[in-house]
Amino acid sequence: MAVEELGAPSRPWAPLHIVGTSHVLRWRTATKYGQVAPPQRRVDKWHGKRAQMLASDYFLQQDFANRRMPALLVVPEFRLGNRTLVADDSVSRNQMQTDSELISRPNDQTMYESAMKVLEGIQRRNPLCRFLFWSLAGREFSNRKSGKYTESGNYRHPVWNLEPTENLFGHATIRLGELMQSPETRLLFADDSMHPSWVGLELLRRLVDEPDTSALRLLQEVFAVHSKPVVRYAKPTILTGDSVWLKRLRSQAHGGLISISPEVRIVRPEHVFKYVDSDIVYVSSCEIDGQGRKPDTEWQRKFLDEMALRNPSRSVCIFFWEARARAAKNTGPNAPLAQTGVLESALHAYAVAEPSEKMRFIHRQHVESSAALHPTLQGILKVVELTGGYTGRAPLVA
């Protein structure tokens, strides 16, 4: 049986295949670069590809879907690939989008029923495959939190609901249903696409090793072992700019995954002038484009000059996150390493510059696998450190 095959942590395990969409891709990247510890159980292969529908060739042609072998399928969103409802061909079947114009209750019902048939087929051909409905759990938790699909305190989505879906596959399901009643479940998700946060990744690796242990108990174990970072600076400090680094810091703080101490504020550039006595850290999105054209940094220089003139005793600096993050991700022969130094030299009076390209500050583990160059938790804390801040610790759950 699948449960016997997965076993308890002390039992010898057969190598496991972990399969899914961008959730698995990010999980694999996080373990590769030390952002989170890997499962104790040996993972033979990670199969992650962005936004593939469950009925795509990507899933159905893999070994795990067609023969007996230990596997964990992180089930994707049911709406992915809904273009097949109007064009059932290989292009639409393997595309990476949800068509918002095709979202309706009848279409959702069709997509859900199709997904259930795919999972039933996988379960029949490979009884050692376990299913984890991570995206469905995230959506349901978000809906419950906002009061959607709820009457008289009872939640009921018109098409898909977590507990009944988990029940369809019996012991093949790694259950998340009990997490719906815990407010701390919000800490598991990094964004609106339900990608796992660093807390979510800690839970996922425990679910791999103990798939039949209560998910709520494993989450409480995460809380007992881990604390959240607190962003601190020695003096009152304004964090400002236009970088995705700032957006991710703000969202992580809003989600309870990071704390920001009272002396630190995230402020839009046009409002910085009110804070005369605070140090200024500007995190910029500027980078040299693919044709080697340098962006206009003159307005940033004038802004920083003005901040320094208003209070000569305070610290003013700029960090080019996107430029450094792209350099960290693109390590081949055409990597934009030298180009990032051009930006820093243009604002040398304020730039947090690396001493040499062989002594880089930002590395691959600091940047998520997404094209948007979002920082990982380590990337957020690294920039804080480089701009004169430091990290404290606080309990994840008060």
> Do residue 136 and residue 253 come from a single domain?
no
Total residue length of the chain = 398
Q: Residue 77: its pLDDT value, please?
A: 95
pLDDT band at 297 (very low <50, low <70, confident <90, very high): confident
Euclidean distance between CA atoms 373 and 331, whole angstroms:
14
Residue environment code for 106-120, b if the CB has 16+ CB neighbours within 10 A, otherwise e: ebbebbbebbbebbe
> Do residue 48 and residue 102 come from a single domain?
yes
> Do residue 71 and residue 193 come from a single domain?
yes
Evaluate if residue 303 carries a pLDDT over 80.
yes
The better pLDDT of the pair 308, 369 is held by 308
> Do residue 232 and residue 358 come from a single domain?
yes
> Do residue 248 and residue 199 come from a single domain?
no
Number of domains present in the structure of the chain: 2
Structural domain boundaries enclosing 302: 227-395
Euclidean distance between CA atoms 238 and 7, whole angstroms:
51
Euclidean distance between CA atoms 276 and 203, whole angstroms:
43
Euclidean distance between CA atoms 140 and 163, whole angstroms:
10
Concatenating the DSSP letter of every residue in 112-145 gives: HHHHHHHHHHHHHH-TTEEEE-HHHHHHHHHHHH
> Do residue 141 and residue 192 come from a single domain?
yes
SS3 state of residue 335: coil
**Orientation angle between helical segments 198-209 and 215-225, nearest 10 degrees:** 130
> Do residue 21 and residue 118 come from a single domain?
yes
| CATH code assigned at 32 | 3.40.50
* Domain termination site, one of 205, 225, 245: 225
Spatial contact of 350 and 318, defined as CB atoms under 8 Å apart: yes
Which spans in the chain are helix H? Answer: 2-6, 22-32, 57-60, 90-93, 105-125, 134-146, 162-167, 198-209, 215-225, 244-254, 298-310, 321-329, 337-346, 377-386
Residue with tokens 């946060």: 197
70-119 pLDDT tens trace: 999 999 999 998 888 887 666 555 566 788 899 999 999 999 999 999 99
> Do residue 124 and residue 195 come from a single domain?
yes
